[in-house]
Amino acid sequence: MKINIINKSKNSLPKYQTELSAGMDLSANLAESITLKPLERKLIPTGLFLELPEGFEAQIRPRSGLAIKNGISVLNAPGTIDADYRGEIGVILVNLSADEFTINNGDRVAQMVIAKYETAEWQTVNSLNQTERGEGGFGSTTT
C-alpha cells in the first residue's frame, strides 16, 4: 500500500526495523531537547503529515524498549490518526518512572501501525443473542 506523506523534519521517514515488523518507528522533531519529569506528559512533534486511504487508521503505540528501560509510554495508547486528519502527527508521551527523561531530536519515541477498520452502522433491537458469559463483567471468566 502506498501512503502520501509530507516530512517537514530532518529525520528519515518512518520505517520497519525488521522484515516482519508491524510498526514503524516515529522520531521526535525538536528544535531543542525536551525533558519529561516524573509523571509529566508532553506532546512530541514528528514533522510528519499523512494522507491515509479511506478505511485505514494509523495507530500510535509505545515502544517496548522505552517502556521497560525508562518508563516512557504513549499516554493515549493506542492513539488514532484518522484518515481525514491532515495535521502534524504528534505523540503524547508520559514519564511513568521516578527519573527525568530527556528526548532529543531524532529519538525514536513511538511506533506507528497502519490498520484497516470497518465503519459500523447501528441496528436497534429489543434483545441480544445470549452467550455462555452473558452479562459477566470484569473478572467473571476467572476460576
* Nearest-angstrom CA–CA distance, 71 and 63: 10
* Nearest-angstrom CA–CA distance, 24 and 101: 22
Q: Which residue has the cell 511506533?
A: 111
**Nearest-5° Cα angle at 62, 58 to 64:** 130
* Nearest-angstrom CA–CA distance, 76 and 21: 22
For residue 83, the tally of other CB atoms under 10 A from its CB is 15
Domain positions in the chain are 4-8+21-116
pLDDT at 20: 96
pLDDT at 128: 93
pLDDT average per 10 residues of sequence, the chain (143 residues): 97 95 97 98 98 98 97 96 98 98 98 96 95 81 64
pLDDT at 135: 84
- The H-assigned helical ranges of 37-80 are 64-70
pLDDT at 143: 59
Q: Which residue has the cell 522505552?
A: 66
The whole-model pTM stands at: 0.88
* Nearest-angstrom CA–CA distance, 132 and 123: 23
- From 3.20.20.80, 3.40.630.30, 3.20.20.140, 2.70.40.10, which CATH number describes the 4-8+21-116 domain? 2.70.40.10
